Amino acid sequence: MPSATPYRKIIHIDMDAFYASVEQRDEPEYRGKPIVVGGSPEGRGGVVATASYEARKFGIRSAMSAKQAKQLCPQAIFVRPRFAVYKEVSQHIREIFRRYTDLIEPLSLDEAYLDVTEDKLGVGSAIEVAKQIKQAIQEELNLTASAGVSINKFVAKIASDINKPDGLKFIGPSAIEKFMENLPVEKFFGVGKVTAEKMKKMGLHTGADLKTLTEQELTQHFGKVGGFYYQIVRGIDNRPVQPHRETKSMGAEDTFAYDLTTTEDMHEELDKIAQTVAARLDRYQLKGRTVTLKIKYSDFKQITRNQSFNHPVRDADTLTQTAKQLLAATNPEDARIRLLGISVSNFGEQPIKEKKTVIGEQLSLF
């Protein structure tokens, strides 16, 4: 007797140290060495895009300034990204995915959700599909990926991170609640460092702690996303895998450990953020006509200012200059600034396929 499938089968695939792995694959000299793909450590605005696992041992992380990376590991090899190559590899990976399903939601060049509730080849087991995909990526591209398998996007994504690199982790329906209870709050979708801090001050450290709050309390404290926390901590995430999501804006922001009070410091941070945004836009082949500056002050008051152009822009110089002009009109001399962000929107008609947003806030990585 045929029965309805009670659960969806969702896989999250994430390439391991993607850019750095591609560089190590293509350049034998780089293998086994600390490789940092991204901006130059000499200039002011260089940012780490991806660090090889050898470099991560020194504490180097994505989105860190290249200068800081060099301080942590002076012998690191800094490599400029080759986006054209990464895009090509990414297309090949998508082609592998498509052998199994058309329900593919890319989050970036190296990461995607797959819904394989009904896979094209009739494999049936999502774990087996994940194994086969990993194997194909290894054989055809000589790269490794990690996979998380579960019944929803949130848990699949967390799972893919557990046995990295070259990992495969399945978290089944009966294991989800326990798993969520033990999960530290920082791991929750959309919880950035500021929200995590706030949660900890409230004595909320794990999923189990979050579970003690009612939906209303969560919404009161954390806004709209609170309702999502309420569901997710109970293992419920009904968001579908969306093959064609539209990107409306793309940006990056940074919250500072201490308030910025001098224009010089503000400019320096804007340079860095602009670099990150420009690189992300480049990666997604996006240009936009509107540049928005976001400022949050030490009293948590927040403002945004924007400027629109006749032509679409994405280069770091334009972003920095625009952000600085917008900043200048806000009397920054008298301000104590806690957060700065730059985003680009108004993309118009472009072939847009990818985005990497999380509920509540945008990832500042690219």
Question: What one-letter code names the amino acid at 166?
Answer: D
The piece of 9-17, 37-45, 116-124, 131-139 that touches Mg ion (CB under 5 A) is: 9-17
Q: Binder to Mg ion among 8, 10, 11, 14 (CB under 5 A)?
A: 14
Other Cβ atoms closer than 10 A to 297: 15
Strands 35-38 and 77-79: parallel
141 lines the binding site for Mg ion (CB under 5 A) = no
Q: Map residue 170 onto helix, strand or coil.
A: strand
The piece of 6-14, 131-139, 234-242, 283-291 that touches Mg ion (CB under 5 A) is: 6-14
**What are the strands of the beta sheet with 77-79, ordered from one edge?**
48-51, 35-38, 77-79
Catalytic option among 111, 253, 269, 354: 111
Q: Map residue 45 onto helix, strand or coil.
A: coil
Ligand-binding annotation for 237, yes or no, is no
**Contact present, 150 and 172 (Cβ < 8 Å):** yes
Question: What one-letter code names the amino acid at 7?
Answer: Y
Q: Is 111 a catalytic residue?
A: yes
Question: Which lies closer to Mg ion via its Cβ, residue 105 or residue 110?
Answer: 110
Q: Binder to Mg ion among 11, 13, 15, 327 (CB under 5 A)?
A: 15
Q: How far apart are CA 67 and CA 280, in angstroms?
A: 19
Ligand-binding annotation for 16, yes or no, is no
Give the shortest CB-356-to-Mg ion separation in angstroms.
Answer: 11
Window 101-140: contact mask with Mg ion (x via CB under 5 A): ---------x------------------------------
Question: Which lies closer to Mg ion via its Cβ, residue 14 or residue 269?
Answer: 14
Question: Which lies closer to Mg ion via its Cβ, residue 143 or residue 266?
Answer: 143
**Contact present, 287 and 309 (Cβ < 8 Å):** no
Query: What angle do the packed helices 126-141 and 83-98 form, to 10 degrees?
Result: 140
- What residues form DSSP beta bridges with 356? none
Give the shortest CB-365-to-Mg ion separation in angstroms.
Answer: 10
Q: How far apart are CA 95 and CA 101, in angstroms?
A: 10
The piece of 17-25, 223-231, 248-256, 293-301 that touches Mg ion (CB under 5 A) is: 17-25
Task: Please state the residue numbers annotated as binding site.
Answer: 14, 110
**Residues that are catalytic:** 111
Question: Could you list the residues that contact Mg ion (CB under 5 A)?
Answer: 14-15, 18, 110
